[in-house]
Structure 1
Amino acid sequence: MNRRVLLLGLCALLLAALGGCMGGLKHPPVEKRHFDLQVKRGEAKPPRAGGPTLAVRRVMVSPRYDGREMVYRTGPTDFSSDFYNLYFVSPSQMLGQDLRQWLAQSGVFGHVLDSATLVRPDLTLETNAAVFCGDYSMKPGKAVVEMQFLLLDERDPDTPVVFSRDYRREEPLTGGEPRDLVEGLRRAVTGIYGDLENDLRALPALR
């Protein structure tokens, strides 16, 4: 009888130990944070009466930066992505949506449409983002955005390029948190979109 009680006691201790080990293997759920760029022009101007119709094509972002995870440059050829801090949607979608809204509020065009529309536009804007990241290879860190824009004239059968320019902005970061990088990227993109608007407004074809 005593032997049976001892055996049961040992089994209970073993189960308790296993339960403690299994409990030690449990990890809290990974907490991810999501950010949106939200580049806004400010006060909107009315559409230009009789102005050309512009179609804005999808912004093409370099594969290095088009994932939802934030990308950090840590050396001349060293990059890392952040598993815990992500953009709410891809950079391509963020940049494209904000660009269309910015140009629609600029008053430069009569209408600004998505390229998926069935309406034939007068002009088409193509955009490529070659750089979209935080550069921490030197201190202080900075947000870096580099974009190229091509404006095509759809009214001409040859679809000539009537405007082409590269823009680059570097904004110093006020801190090392992901939110500081998002704010720096927002300032950089805002500056680029403002420069683009001014350049388009000065085009003889759009006056």
Structure 2
Amino acid sequence: MKFIFRILLVSIFSFLFTQCFGVSKTFPEKRFFLIETSESKQLFLPPKPRTFFVRKVFISPRFEGKEFVYRKDNVVYESDFYNGFFIPPAHNFKEEFSKSLIHSGNFEWDANLHTKVGVTHYIELNLSQLYGDFRSKEPKAVIEFEVVVYEDKDSVSSPVFRKTYKQNAVIEKKDAESLVIGWNSALSQTFSEMNLELSKQLK
């Protein structure tokens, strides 16, 4: 009887606490997103008989997690537990980057997927910025990355192409969906620019 009485008291207390203080057991549903860029403009048909291998993808430790990061003040950053990447952002970025090289025709093969082809170019990527800038009434999707392209696997040799790209794309709202749309638009534009510059530099 004492045990049942205690359970009854706990149940009554929990009910009263919930009603008085408005405590709810419901939480926002977690949502997962992917960066998906539009196809790069086709520059060569047929594609150039080149192959590439993305040797390294560096990403700043500030943004390597799956949770989205928002900049709320000059020195204040917040992570969003309920909105994030479906796969690690470095993998997502690498996949979209590689697709753009193939669609442009700058390269015929992605050696990361076709292991039996000979590699003509090695690529290193450094993703240094990936966040939503929510400091003002005009939020932005921020992304910055460096591309380094070598003609052989000797990283000591001078690269044949090296450039840093940065975009601050204005977005409609301070929310996760608008942020992803901004990243998609910014990267689509940047990849097109990058492939055009690559087409003039690679042999």
**TM class by smaller structure:** 0.7 to 0.9
In structure 2, give the amino acid aligned to 1:161.
P
RMSD over aligned Cα atoms:
2.8
1:55 maps to 53
Q: CA deviation at 1:13?
A: 5.8
Instruction: State the Cα distance separating 1:164 from its structure 2 match.
Output: 0.6
Query: CA–CA distance in 1 between the matches of 2:150 and 2:3?
Result: 79
Instruction: Give SS of 2:104's match.
Output: coil
1:122 aligns with one of 115, 120, 123? 120
Cα gap change, 1:77 to 1:117, in 2 (>3 Å): farther
Asked if 1 retains the 8 angstrom alpha-carbon contact of 2:47 and 2:105, the reply is yes
CA distance in 2, matches of 1:94, 1:117: 20
1:18 aligns with 2:4: no
Q: How does 1:103-114 map to 2 (within 5 A)?
A: 103-114=101-112
1:20 aligned partner, one-letter code:
I
Unaligned regions of 5+ residues in structure 2, if any?
Answer: none
TM-score, L = length of structure 1: 0.82
List per-residue Cα deviations over 1:12-40 (Å, max 9, x = no partner).
66542322335658823652111111123
**How far apart in 2 are the matches of 1:81 and 1:157?**
35
Alignment of 1:38-77 (within 5 A): 38-41=36-39, 46-48=45-47, 51-77=49-75
11 and 169 in structure 1: CA distance in 2 versus 1, 3 angstrom threshold: closer
CA pair 33-155 structure 1, distance change in 2 beyond 3 A: closer
Aligned mate of 1:132, from 130, 133, 137: 130
Equivalent pairs, count: 196
Give identity over the alignment, percent.
24
Larger deviation: 62-71 or 188-197?
188-197
Instruction: Give the match's secondary structure for 2:135.
Output: coil
CA distance 1:147–1:116, shift in 2 (3 Å): farther
Shift of 1:160: 2.8
Q: Write the letter of the residue equivalent to 2:90.
A: S
Alignment partner of 1:147: what SS? strand
Gaps of 5+ in 1: 1-7
Task: Please state how far the C-alpha of 1:56 moved relative to its aligned partner.
Answer: 2.1
Change in 2 beyond 3 A, CA 1:61/1:101? same
Is the partner of 1:149 in helix, strand or coil? strand
Deviating 4+ runs (over 4 angstroms): 10-14, 22-26, 42-47, 155-158
User: 1:175 Cα deviation (Å)?
Assistant: 1.3
In 2: Cα distance, 1:188 partner to 1:94 partner: 15
Normalization by structure 2: what TM-score? 0.84
Task: Write the deviation string for residues 68-123 of structure 1: whole angstroms up to 9, x where unpaired.
Answer: 00000111121110011111011101100111111111111232221893644111
**Alpha-carbon separation, structure 1, partners of 2:104 and 2:65:** 29
- Residue 66 of structure 1, CA deviation: 1.1
